[in-house]
Structure 1
Amino acid sequence: MRRSVMGEMRRLAEQTPAHRDRHVDLLRAVAISAVVTGHWLAVHVTYDGGLRGGSALELVPWTRPLTWLFQVMPVFFLVGGYANAASLSSHRERGGNPMSWTLGRTDRLIRPTTALLAVLAGTALLARALGADPAMIGAGVWVAGIPLWFLAAYLAVVVLTPLTHAVHRRYGLAVPAVLAALVGLGDVARLGLGIPELRVLGAANFLLAWLAVYQLGFAWQDGRLRARRSVGLPLALAGLIALVALTVPGPYPVSMVGLAGDEIQNTSPPTLALLALALTQTGLALASHDAAERWLRRLRPWTVVVAVNSVIMTLYLWHMTAAVLGALALYPTGLLPDPPPGSPAWVLLRVPWLVALALILGVLVMVFGPIERRSGPRPGPGDAVGALTLLGLAGVLAGLLGIALAGPGDHGPAGLSTAALIGYFAGAAVLRFARWRSGHRA
């Protein structure tokens, strides 16, 4: 089975068109791998008759600057903007319309997400029926569902792509500049004026900040941002200077991951400091382009990149489930001790912890990866099934937002918000029907 999959990946790698920018695929794979590793390293588990978890970032302050290396979701949004701009432009050249593009493009995101939510809900219901502690069920499902937070934002920017790409074609780099300025205003409204009623303005940063990074991907794709060292290095330096100024003497925390209890968190919602990190990462991505492209002309590394990208959403969506399963398998059984966080023993034990989770995630990818690799019927270029698409996407987005906003806790028989789950699954079913109908009418 493994040989057949790798053989297929090698065949796809050999058939890659010469014009494809392989560096974009490498960045996507590196970004998700870094996010997975960072989340696993940040998990701190203890067992004293009951399993408890927390964040090492809260307990070990010296780990917080490391989030500058592992918080690479901006790279994922950057390359998402690049790839989706190229895909939408190609779709239009073939006579397609924006709605049919959106219908087809979201399939790769929603299909594996539906599998994750179905398994989490089913497992929670079974555990409850077997008499498991509801609080433990809620905690486990919440941790496993952490990847859905960023997915809600990413799916939203994908859905908005036809509109935001049209704005980009007219105004170019002025768009992310304006969006960054709005993020700054949102920060001031939340943090500087002290007026509770204005906090809703700051909440808009959940969308505005990620849209700003996504628009930089548009600019890279059409050449307004050149993938050269002469462009990338100054951008990276400017971003780094801004990042240091905003965090070390400035008002923002050093950690690029939110910490419980902190009034200011750089991701909830995203801040100017996170945008400074995004600018740094964008500059490094542009500066490394030519060297990465030369290296990826080799078949072996390119095949690995193709293989990772073929299950990229599966890796992302299931990595915290692997952490939950690893904690249940390693700590109550005593296979892995839990020394004081930050101690030398704790640091050394991060290695077997990562190895164990990587093995568990490998099994999950083997089981659920084929769901992502399969694609539904491709929508016809002129057949959008528009009303169904809009209805389905509204249900999916509302469901994901409801799950994310509910926060930790036991929110229903399946651990997650029942209303949010119903909304998500209803929306996913409508989209599946729309894709089927569009494919058969094409």
Structure 2
Amino acid sequence: MRRLRQLAEQTPPSRERVVDLLRALAITAVVLGHWLVIVIGYAPDGRLTGHSALQDLPWARPVTWVVQVLPLFFLVGGYANAASLTSHRERGGDAVDWLLERAARLLRPTAVLLVVLAAAAFGARLLGADPVQTRTAVWFASIPLWFLSPYLGAVLLTPLMYRLHRRFGFAVPLLLVGLVALGDLARFRHAPDMLAAGNLLFGWLAIHQLGFAWRDGRLPARRAVALPLLFGGLTAALLATVVGPYPVSMINVPGERVHNMSPPSLALLALATAQIGLVLLLRDRAERGLRRPRPWQVVVAVNAVVLTIFLWHISAVLLVVGALWSVDLLPTPPVGSAAWLLWRLPWLLALSVALALLVAVFGRVELRGSRRPSRWPRWLPRRIAALLAHRSVRPVLTVVGVALAVLGLAGNNLAPKTAPALFGVPTTALVAFLLGMTILEMVRAAPSAIRAEERPPDRAG
């Protein structure tokens, strides 16, 4: 608590505290939303199953307009990435060093999750667990990685996209929205999935670009800007879903002709526009409230482990379900029944306790963040470090490392959840991620290894 209090007190006056609040609220809403819609039941053969309550409760789908807050995360991500990149360059750093720091902050906690899941799955296989169930459990636990793949892509492209933003302004997100429209058209015409796959990047990048505009003052917190965005976005979203061909749910529901979230659709971008308008409308009031010490300390505390919370919140579900099932105390009331609704409260409490324990164990990785230096392996020659640190090699390997990590995460996401895998994660996807992570850590460690070699030895006396 003392450390958090110090961090809160050391916040510079110029910091846009609403950005941190939105990040904390967005992740909290995602966690609670997932926990509330998860339905646990039994298959005819007695095995545990899980699915979304939205399949059984059509009346709840409009509620997703409130709990679908991933656009806000990309908005604040764009703001934060623009701010940190600008600050890094003002201190004399370059885009490569910035990307290495940003990637370390995201990938180190992610690597811990993947390694723990892979080790647990491998151990379960050795003990004779069903390979399909093992893969299914790992697939569910790794659901948060669906979001991380496009976000890492946005981080990788930030130096380029911010340069385009500075030159072309709102023309960039407008072009991206046009590409999303083409992807949606391909989906409605039942074109090959690859034609719409670009929406996974174009849609989130469009929102990420608006975070740049907020940071640069091109989206000011004025009613003349906020109200048209709020009501225009809501109107467009209503027309797209009530009159148009898009589903009402802003969270994917199996069986829908088109999904709004993954990949993002024009309907989701319309909702995102309304959310941005609401943020700008409430910005000044929220900023004043965050100047008080206690609310700001809470926001700082959540943000200190926000990625850990997000990464492990489905694992908390598996732990609670496994514990209750092992002692034959797992309730499975019919979805939407009074018993199911009443079970939501103790369910949330149990999951909160499990997640708190996971954060206590794994949160320290995120708390260290990118501050922990990468160490050069002693068994590797220093001449390799010199090669990795070369100004023409370093940028290429950095891009390759991030790209491999993204491909590894996407490979796990796209693999069928019932396809057996020795480590629960497809081996090629796991290798790609770990290889990308290793490349980034070595590139990051190379300059310090060279400096250590060039430093003259200490002389006594």
Q: TM-score range by the shorter chain?
A: over 0.9
Letter in 1 for 2:32: T
Q: Is 1:286 equivalent to 2:270 in the alignment? A: no
1:326–1:356 CA contact under 8 A, matched in 2: yes
Q: Is 1:45 equivalent to 2:40 in the alignment? A: yes
2:405 equivalent among 396, 399, 423: 396
2:71 equivalent among 74, 77, 96: 74
Moved more, 19-28 or 229-238: 229-238
Residues of 2 paired with 1:291 and 1:13: CA distance?
19
Residues of 2 paired with 1:7 and 1:440: CA distance?
35
Summarize the Cα distance change of 1:378–1:418 in structure 2 as closer, same or farther, 3 Å threshold. Answer: closer
Match of 1:119 in 2: 116
2:404–2:432 CA contact under 8 A, matched in 1: yes
Q: Is 1:377 equivalent to 2:377 in the alignment? A: no
Give the greater-gyration-radius structure (CA): 2
- Counting only pairs closer than 5 Å after superposition, residues 335-414 of structure 1 correspond to structure 2 as 335-374=329-368, 375=370, 376-377=372-373, 385-414=394-423
Letter in 1 for 2:283: H
1:31–1:72 CA contact under 8 A, matched in 2: yes
Q: Is 1:7 equivalent to 2:2 in the alignment? A: yes
Residues of 2 paired with 1:335 and 1:280: CA distance?
43
Instruction: After TM superposition, give the deviation of residue 334 of structure 1 in Å.
Output: 4.0
Residues 231-263 of structure 1: per-residue CA shift (max 9 Å, x gap): 222211111111111111210001111112222
Q: Is 1:146 equivalent to 2:143 in the alignment? A: yes
Say what the alpha-carbon RMSD is for the aligned residues.
1.9
2:5–2:297 CA contact under 8 A, matched in 1: yes
Instruction: After TM superposition, give the deviation of residue 17 of structure 1 in Å.
Output: 0.5
Letter in 2 for 1:184: A
Residues of 1 paired with 2:242 and 2:327: CA distance?
42
Residues of 2 paired with 1:407 and 1:177: CA distance?
34
Residues of 1 paired with 2:302 and 2:222: CA distance?
26
User: What SS does structure 1 have at the residue aligned with 2:93?
Assistant: coil
1:152–1:397 CA contact under 8 A, matched in 2: yes
Instruction: After TM superposition, give the deviation of residue 363 of structure 1 in Å.
Output: 0.3
Residues of 1 paired with 2:349 and 2:288: CA distance?
31
Instruction: After TM superposition, give the deviation of residue 378 of structure 1 in Å.
Output: 8.6
Residues of 2 paired with 1:385 and 1:200: CA distance?
31
1:67–1:257 CA contact under 8 A, matched in 2: yes
Instruction: After TM superposition, give the deviation of residue 44 of structure 1 in Å.
Output: 0.1
How many residue pairs get matched? 433
Instruction: After TM superposition, give the deviation of residue 201 of structure 1 in Å.
Output: 2.3
Residues of 1 paired with 2:434 and 2:420: CA distance?
17
Match of 1:206 in 2: 200
Match of 2:28 in 1: 33
User: What SS does structure 2 have at the residue aligned with 1:227?
Assistant: coil
Instruction: After TM superposition, give the deviation of residue 27 of structure 1 in Å.
Output: 0.2
- Counting only pairs closer than 5 Å after superposition, residues 37-436 of structure 1 correspond to structure 2 as 37-47=32-42, 49-191=46-188, 193-194=189-190, 196-197=191-192, 199-374=193-368, 375=370, 376-377=372-373, 385-436=394-445
Q: Percent identity?
A: 54
User: What SS does structure 1 have at the residue aligned with 2:41?
Assistant: strand
1:229–1:288 CA contact under 8 A, matched in 2: no
1:247–1:254 CA contact under 8 A, matched in 2: yes
1:238–1:280 CA contact under 8 A, matched in 2: yes
Summarize the Cα distance change of 1:348–1:230 in structure 2 as closer, same or farther, 3 Å threshold. Answer: farther
1:46–1:331 CA contact under 8 A, matched in 2: no
- Counting only pairs closer than 5 Å after superposition, residues 19-30 of structure 1 correspond to structure 2 as 19-30=14-25
Residues of 2 paired with 1:103 and 1:309: CA distance?
20
Instruction: After TM superposition, give the deviation of residue 330 of structure 1 in Å.
Output: 2.5
1:29–1:308 CA contact under 8 A, matched in 2: yes
Summarize the Cα distance change of 1:351–1:382 in structure 2 as closer, same or farther, 3 Å threshold. Answer: farther
Instruction: After TM superposition, give the deviation of residue 10 of structure 1 in Å.
Output: 0.7
Moved more, 26-35 or 254-263: 254-263
Residues of 2 paired with 1:382 and 1:122: CA distance?
36
* TM-score normalised over the length of structure 1: 0.94
Letter in 2 for 1:202: A
2:304–2:367 CA contact under 8 A, matched in 1: yes
Instruction: After TM superposition, give the deviation of residue 336 of structure 1 in Å.
Output: 4.2
* TM-score normalised over the length of structure 2: 0.90
Moved more, 306-315 or 382-391: 382-391
2:41–2:50 CA contact under 8 A, matched in 1: yes
User: What SS does structure 2 have at the residue aligned with 1:160?
Assistant: helix
User: What SS does structure 1 have at the residue aligned with 2:243?
Assistant: coil
Instruction: After TM superposition, give the deviation of residue 386 of structure 1 in Å.
Output: 2.1
Residues 302-336 of structure 1: per-residue CA shift (max 9 Å, x gap): 01111111111101100111111122123453434
Match of 1:3 in 2: none
Residues of 2 paired with 1:316 and 1:88: CA distance?
24
1:95–1:382 CA contact under 8 A, matched in 2: no
1:395–1:423 CA contact under 8 A, matched in 2: yes
2:12 equivalent among 6, 10, 17: 17
